[in-house]
Structure 1
Amino acid sequence: MMYSISKTRLYLATDSLDWMINRSIKQSLSLQDAVPLAAGEDSVPNNPVETLYIHIPFCHTLCRFCSFHKVKFQETLAREYFKALRQEIREVISRGYRFNRVYIGGGTTTILEDELIKTIELIKSLTTIREVSCESDPIYFSEGNPSQLKGLVDRMSIGVQSFDDVILKSTGRFEKFGSGEQQAEYVSRAIELFPTVNVDMMYGFKVQTADSVRQDLLQTMALNPDQITTYPLTVGIGKNRKKAGCLAGDPHELWPQFLAVKQTLAQRYEMDFPWTFSRNFGQPVKNKYVLDGEDCLGVGSGAFGRFGEQFRISSFDIADYIRLMNQTQSGTCYTKPLESKAVMQHHLMIMMGHGHLDNKVFKDHTGRSLWQAFPLEMSFLLASGAVVKQGDDYHTTEQGQFIALKMFVGFLSGMDHLREQARDLPLTSI
C-alpha cells in the first residue's frame, strides 16, 4: 500500500514537472531575442574552452525519432562541407581559442572517413587536445574501416538504442543497421579498437516493458563496454513530437523501466548521472551536451555553443554555411542571451543528477542559497519526496533521481525546440 501511495505521488509530481518544463522551454528558450553576430564581435576567452563540438549533418537515411540537424548524404556537397568545416576550425584556433576536448557528433560522423581523418589530424596539428570523442552508427564497424581512426579517436560512442529486433524494426533501424545480434558483433569490433567505448541505449518505446529493458541492458553488459548511456525516448514539444510520439509508450511506464535500468547496471557499473553509467574504473561519461556550467564552442552547420549566459547558433543552411566560410567569416550567425534563472535551473538539474544539492557550493557559485534561488522548486522537490534535508544540504532520493532524469529529458526537448526555431532564422550571408 505504501508503494502505491508513493508511486501515485511520484506520477503526480512528474506529470506536473512535464507541464512546467514545457512551459519553461517555450519562455526561456525562445529565439525571438536572438540577434545576428556581427564580424569582430566574437571575444576569445582567456582560459581554454572545455569542449569544441563539431557537427557533421549528413546521413544515408534519416531516423524517425532523431531531431538533430541532418540532411540526406550527397558526396559533392559533403566534401565541400568538410572543406568549409576545416576552414572554420583554422579560423577559430588562429583567433586564440584553445580546447580541452573535442566532441564530433551528427548526423553520421564517419560518412566520409577520409574527410573525418583529415579534420581530426588538422586539429591535432594546430593545438593540444586531451581527448577526441566521436559518435558512430553500428554499421560503420562492418562496412567502414574503423582501424584508420585508431590513435585519432580516444572515445567512440555507438548509437545502438536497442538490441531488440522488434524495436529496431519499429524505428526503421533494423533495415539500416541489421539485427540486434549483428549490431552486438559490430560493437565488439569497436571495443577491440578504441581505448573507451560508450554504447548509447534508449527506453520508453511502446513495446517495451521493464523486463525487456532489463534484457536489453543485460545484452549490452555482456559486451563489456566501458560506458553505457541510456535515457527515455525524447518526444519534444514541436514538430518532432508527432514523429517521436508515435513510438513512445505510456510515460508512467518510465518509472519501472528506470528502476530496471538502475538495478541491472548496478551489477557492474557506477551511476554518474541517472542517464550515464561507467564501468567501475572511475572515468565519468562524457557527452555532447553542455553540462555542469562548462563552456562549449560549436563549429559546423547546425552547431550550438554556450559561453556563460550567452548561447551561440551556427547557420542551419549548409549552402549558407559554406558561403560564410568561403568568405572567411565565422560560422556562428546568431547569439541569444540566456536568463540567469535558466542557467541556475540547469545547474540544479546537474546537482540533482549527482545526488547532492550542496548549498555552500551553490551559493559560492551564484551568490544565492538554494531556497533564495528556487523557492518554488525546492518546495516541489521536498513535497514530492525527491530530496531529503541533511544539515544545510539536500540529497536526492531514488524518486529524485528519476525526477532529475525527467529534467534531463526536458533539457533535450529544449534543445529540440531551439533547433526547430534555428532552422527558420533568416540567412545572414545573403
Structure 2
Amino acid sequence: MARGVYIHIPFCHQICNYCDFNKVFFKNQPVDEYIEAVGKEMELVVQQMPGKFDNIETIFLGGGTPTALSAEQIKRLLDLIAKYLPTNKVIEFSSEANPDELTIDKLKALKSGGVNRLSMGVQSFDEQLLKKLGRTHSNEHVYETIEHAKAVGFENISIDLMYGLPGQTMEQWEDTLNKAFQLKLPHYSAYSLIVEPKTIFYIRYAKGKLNLPTEELEADMYDLLMNKMEQNGLKQYEISNFALDGYQSTHNKIYWDNDEYAGFGAGAHGYLNGDRYSNIGPIKKYISSINDSSRPLLSTHKVTKEEMIEEQMFLGLRKNEGVSFDEFERKFGTPLKSLFVDTIQQLVNNGLLIDDGRFVRLSRKGRFIGNEVFQQFLL
C-alpha cells in the first residue's frame, strides 16, 4: 500500500542558483494543460492499481514552486486531487511555498482545498545572502506571509533554512537562527548547501569562483544549529529536521521509513510495488505521454533485496530514533545483527552509533559525518 503521494509542480518565476530539481520558468508555459495532465496521470495510475491508494496518509505538493500557480490554478489542481485520490485518511497535506508569492487568495485556495501544512523556502534572513542564492523575497515578505497564513488558519508552518553558503559567516548564521526562532513556528528544516551539477553555483564552483565555508566552519554551524534548536524547545527527529511534539513531518517520515509512495508530475520520483521510478522531465513530452493514455515513465528499477536493506539503513539512520531491530527483522526475515554485527560494533566503539538493544542510531558525533557512517552498510 502507498502511504504517501508527491505531486511535482515544475514552474518557477525565478530559478535559484543552487537548485537542481526539474523546473522551468513559468512564463509562456502550458500551465493549465499541465495541471490537467497531472489529473489524468493520477486517474490512470489509480485505475491501474486498484486499492493501492486507499490508505494514503500524506500528500505533498513540491517543485519547482507550487505557489507559482495562480489561486484559480491551485484550486483546479486541488479539485483534481480530491477527484482522483482517496483523501479521507490523509492526515498531512503539505505545500511548498515561496514567501513573496503566497498571496491571501492563494492561502485561502490552499486551505479550502485541504492543505493543512505549509513548508516555506526562507533559506536565510541575511538579504545579501538571499541575493547570492537567487532568491527574490525579503524578510518582510516572510513576516507578512506567515502572519497572513496564521490569519487564514494555518498552524502547521515550517520554514527551510540553509547554512554552508558562499561567504556565510557564523555571525550571519546565528542571526538567521535567532530571527527564525522569533517566528515561534512548530517546525524548522535546516540543510547544508550541496553544490549540485547543472546549477549556477556548480558553474561558479568549477571556475573557482564560489567562496564556500571550510568543513570545520560548516560543522560548527551544524553544532550551533542543534544547540539552538534544543534551547528553543524544538526536538531533532532527523538529521536536518526539528519540531515541537506532534509537528514532525509525516510525509518525510515515509521516505525515511523506506515505505511506498507515488510520484505524479513531470520529473517526479516514486516507489511503488518494489519499483523505484522517475517520470519524463520535459513538460511537453510529459503532457504528450499522458494524452496518449500512457504512464509518463522515464525509468523504472526493480529494487533488489540487498538494495532494500541498504536503503533501510541509509534512510533509517537519518532519523534520531534510528533503525528498529524488530522492524528490520519483520521486513527482511533476518536479524539486523546477522548482517552487520561487526560493522555496528565498530561504529559503536568509535562513538558514531548507539545500540540500545531495540534501535541502532547515530550518536551526536555520528550526525556530523552521517554519509560516511551510511557507507559502512553497503552490502
TM-score over 0.5 for the pair: yes
Structure-to-structure mapping, 1:196-345, within 5 angstroms: 196-236=156-196, 238-240=197-199, 242-243=202-203, 245=205, 246=210, 248-266=212-230, 267-279=232-244, 281-287=245-251, 290-307=255-272, 309-345=274-310
Which of 170, 183, 192 matches 2:142? 183
Question: Contact 2:15–2:134 at 8 Å: present in 1 too?
Answer: no
Quick one: higher RCO (CA 8 Å, sep 6+), 1 or 2?
A: 1
Structure 2 counterpart of 1:141: 102
2:125 to 160, 163, 172: 163
Task: Tell me how far 1:244 sits from its aligned partner.
Answer: 7.8
Distance change >3 Å, CA 317–CA 172, structure 1 → 2: closer
Cα distance between partner residues in 1 of 2:22 and 2:331 = 33
The correspondence for 2:362, drawn from 396, 413, 416, is 396
The Cα of 1:341 is off from its aligned counterpart by 3.4
Code of the aligned partner of 1:171: L
Please state whether the residue corresponding to 2:30 is helix, strand or coil. helix
Preserved contact between residue 188 and residue 223 of structure 1 (Cα < 8 Å): no
Q: Is the 8 A contact 2:14 2:134 kept in 1?
A: no
Aligned residue among 53, 59, 64 for 1:107: 64
Change in Cα spacing, 1:342 to 1:212, as seen in structure 2 (3 Å) is: farther
Aligned equivalents of 1:294, 1:276: Cα separation in 2? 19
Q: Which blocks of at least 5 consecutive residues in structure 1 are unaligned?
A: 1-46, 411-430
Shift of 1:216: 1.1
Amino acid at match of 1:397: S
State the 1:162 CA deviation: 0.9
| Equivalence for 1:192 | 151
Distance 1:372 1:213, change over 3 A: farther
Task: Verify: 1:63 aligned to 2:16, yes or no.
Answer: yes
Give the 3 Å change call, closer, same or farther, for CA 55–395 of structure 1 in structure 2. closer
Aligned Cα RMSD in Å? 2.7
CA contact (8 A) 1:53 1:296 kept: yes
The total of aligned residue pairs comes to 357
Instruction: Select 1:88's aligned residue among 25, 36, 41.
Output: 41
CA distance in 2, matches of 1:285, 1:191: 19
Residue in structure 2 matched with residue 27 of structure 1 by the alignment: none
Asked whether the 8 Å contact 1:290–1:306 carries over to 2, the reply is no
Partner of 1:124: 82
User: Does the CA-based 8 Å contact 1:198-1:225 persist in structure 2?
Assistant: yes
Equivalent residue number for residue 28 of structure 1:
none
Over residues 111-161 of structure 1, what are the superposed CA-to-partner deviations in whole Å (9 max), with x where a residue is unaligned? Answer: 222222112122223443213211111111358642222232111111111
- Which residue identity is paired with 2:60? Y
Shift of 1:300: 0.9
The whole-number CA distance in structure 2 between the counterparts of 1:85 and 1:393 is 40
Question: Match of 1:42?
Answer: none
- Residues 393 and 64 (structure 1), Cα distance of their counterparts in 2 relative to 1, 3 Å cut: closer
Contact 2:123 2:161 (8 Å CA) reproduced = yes
Shift in CA distance, 330/357, structure 1 to aligned 2, threshold 3 Å: closer
Instruction: Give deviations 1:186-244, integer Å, cap 9, x for gaps.
Output: 233223332311111111113334443232122111112221111211224x4447248
Q: Quick one: distance in 2 between partners of 1:242 and 1:166?
A: 20
Give the distance between the partners of 1:376 and 1:342, measured in 2 at CA.
20
Contact 2:7 2:61 in 1 (8 A): yes
Q: 1:273 to 1:244 in 2, by over 3 A?
A: farther
Looking at structure 1, the residues matched to 141 and 130 of structure 2 have their Cα atoms a distance apart, in angstroms, of: 12
The 3 A distance-change label for structure 1 pair 309 and 382 is: farther
Per-residue deviation, 1:395 = 4.4
Is there any run of 5+ residues in structure 2 with no aligned partner, and where?
A: none
Q: Matches of 2:3 and 2:345 in 1, distance apart?
A: 34
Secondary structure at 2:21's aligned position in 1? coil
- 2:120 alignment partner AA: I
Deviates more, 1:372-381 or 1:152-161: 372-381
Check whether the contact 2:219–2:368 (CA below 8 A) recurs between aligned residues. yes
Identity of aligned residues (%): 24
- CA offset digits 1:276-322 (Å, max 9, x no partner): 1112x323124568221111111111011013642111111211111
- Look up the SS of the partner of 2:66 in the other structure: coil
For the residues of structure 2 that align with 1:258 and 1:61, how far apart are their CA atoms?
Answer: 28
In the alignment, is the contact (CA less than 8 A) between 1:231 and 1:405 conserved in 2?
Answer: no
The 1:145–1:389 alpha-carbon spacing in structure 2 relative to 1, beyond 3 Å, is closer
- Taking structure 2 as the reference length, the TM-score comes to 0.84
Tell me the SS of whatever aligns to 1:206.
Answer: coil
TM-score of the superposed pair, with normalisation by structure 1:
0.75
SS in 1 for 2:221: helix
